[in-house]
Amino acid sequence: MEKLFIVANWKMNGNKRSNEQLINCINDKVCENANIEVVICPPFTYLTQILKLKTSSIKIGAQNISENQNGACTGEISGSMLQDIKVDYVIIGHSERRQMYNDTNAVIAQKFELAHQNNLIPILCIGESLNERKTGQTLSVIESQIKSIIETTRIELFAKSIIAYEPVWAIGTGETASPEQAEEVHTNIRNIMEVYDSNIASSIPILYGGSVNGANSKDLFTMGNINGGLIGGASLNGEEFVEIYQAAESLINE
Ligand code: PEP
């Protein structure tokens, strides 16, 4: 089993008190392990709180980044600001941003480029809607989402990036893609990237996201092309998140 990534997306949840309880619960159970990367992505306002409270075994990510470098962009947070406070990762192109904040593929490509310019590792989210899956468009949607970023930026940037396959119909719905359904898409993602660079295609971590929980995580992470999970709802419950982490730990130690 290669390296596994367990990424928590707290979305717009929490407060100072609940965050402290949650991170303490995770701190207690996450140990230094070169083969498991645990990343916590709190809301912007709590990045420094979690940076202070977390142990050195845990990394920090932001949930978004501005598509602009700096300047007159009221309410935005730039890549250089995230780098300044020592954030490691940034989620880009989450389906909630695509749907609610008009993050188009062009905007996402700018964010992806700026993440790299500021030494942040982007976790690029892609995924099809329920209607797209039902009408047999899953693979073409995935292909156009990936290709648009590769062709607007550079394939080389993917050598230091993560992809998260998140079928929109599985996010926050309690409905999970089966390990086989997810594996099929992950394999296709590698095939799409193979045309540009075979080393990057075979080595880029591809996470699955969509109602991952303590009970289904091990079966998902067992698949050859699933390199961990991006976890929303279940990451807000310390014990459940630790269960997911422990599923990864047991696979790594097998
Ligand atoms: C997410 O928001 O990235 C996500 C996967 O959410 P959930 O785990 O709640 O489906």
pLDDT of residue 174: 84
- How close is the Cα of 168 to the center of ligand 1, in Å? 9
Mutate to test the pocket of ligand 1, among 12, 171, 216, 220 (most ligand atoms within 8 A of CB): 171
Closest CA to 124 of 164, 160, 180: 164
- How close is the Cα of 71 to the center of ligand 1, in Å? 32
CA distance 76 to 65: 8
CA distance 231 to 242: 12
Q: Ligand 1 within 6 A of 179 CB? A: no
Mutate to test the pocket of ligand 1, among 96, 175, 212 (most ligand atoms within 8 A of CB): 212
Residue 149 DSSP class = H
Structural domain tally of the chain?
1
Dihedral of the alpha carbons of 165, 151, 83, 198, in degrees to the nearest 10 = 60
Tell me the pLDDT tens digit for each residue of 63-100: 999 999 999 999 999 999 999 999 999 999 999 999 99
Q: Which two tokens stand for residue 177?
A: 């893609």
What CATH number has the domain bearing residue 21?
Answer: 3.20.20.70
Tell me the pLDDT tens digit for each residue of 157-174: 999 999 999 999 999 888
Segments forming the whole domain that contains residue 90: 4-252
Tell me the pLDDT tens digit for each residue of 97-154: 999 999 999 999 999 999 999 999 999 999 999 999 999 999 999 999 999 999 999 9
Catalogue the active-site residues: 94, 166
Contact 236, 22 (CB under 8 A): yes
